[in-house]
Amino acid sequence: MREKRLLTIQDISCVGQCSLTVALPILSAFGLETAILPSAVLSTHTGGFTGYTFRDLTDDIPAIAEHWKKENLKFDAFYTGYVGSKKQLEYISDIIKTLGTDNAVTVIDPVMGDNGKLYTGFDEEFAAEMAKFCSLADVILPNFTEAAYLLKEPYVQIGEYDESYVEGLLKRLAGLGAKNVVLTGVSFDKSKLGVAIYDGKNIYYDFNDYLPVSMHGTGDVFASAFTGAMVSGKNIQEAAALAADFVVDSIKATESTHKYGVRFEKALHSVK
């Protein structure tokens, strides 16, 4: 049997523990051959920094994809994160449709924002395109901010929703066409934070103790560990629980003065 080959598409933030600098080591730790398609190269991630550089790689993508097609390369899984432009979503859709093996798995983390706000560089038009793109996914991994923008609904923050709201939100997100939804940042009680999973039939929850910190890049750490676990054979609930535990371990390994990202490297030995 050929070993699994995965393609992850997201930016390189040269400094800042997020996107590809997080995804590659985590996916490698699962023993997966990981190919990359950088969507953009930034000097740092956009949150908490000013004056960062941004090289949009949209125009490079068609030639890269053409080369892969000529080489007859195929991928068993796709995992997309921070995408640099609307045009890229079109190119990436084509890659997913043409370069997957039979039964290839697609995980889309619709990275766009957090805490009720879009990250710099994104707008509602991009969110509408991202919503269409989500129809290609086996699993989407939005947080509450991304869920709101995908559905063109108001953002509802922790403490202001209950289980029936989350149930409705999961079902509306599934209406975008993804087979499974894993909603992150769910909390019904101040002491617990976790994920809600909807597989088209049932809803499952997985909670950890609430840690009163907000650290950058945890969404990418979660998505990378989730994808690594799922592509390695875990089911969606197992993969989500493993990824949530890994985020908690990474946060615990991070000193409070650390300015960006989490020290996932310190927890990497425990990720499987």
Binding site for ligand PXL (CB under 6 A): 11, 13, 18-19, 42, 45-47, 82, 111, 119, 217, 219-220
Nearer to ligand PXL, 47 or 177 (CB): 47
> Minimum distance from CB of 226 to ligand PXL (Å)?
14
Task: Considering the complex, state which of residue 18 and residue 107 has its C-beta at the smaller distance from ligand PXL.
Answer: 18
Torsion of CA 230, 18, 11, 104, to 10 degrees: 0
* DSSP state letters, 84-100: --HHHHHHHHHHHHHSE
The minimum distance between CB 21 and ligand PXL, in angstroms, equals 10
Q: Which is nearer to ligand PXL, 6 or 262 (CB)?
A: 262
Rounded to the nearest whole angstrom, what is the least distance from the CB of residue 72 to ligand PXL in the complex?
31
Is 172 in a helix, a strand, or coil?
helix
Inter-CA distances, 175 with 93, 111, 137, 138, 203, Å: 18, 19, 12, 13, 15
Q: Minimum distance from CB of 201 to ligand PXL (Å)? A: 31
Q: Decide whether 47 or 62 has the Cβ nearer to ligand PXL.
A: 47
Identity of the residue, 141 or 230, whose beta carbon is nearer to ligand PXL in the bound complex: 141
Phi-psi region of 5 (alpha: psi -120 to 50; beta: other; left: phi over 0): beta
Residue 257 CB neighbours (<10 A): 5
Neighbours of 40 (CB within 10 A): 21
Closest approach, Cβ 11 to ligand PXL, in A, equals 5
8 Å CB contact between 72 and 101: no
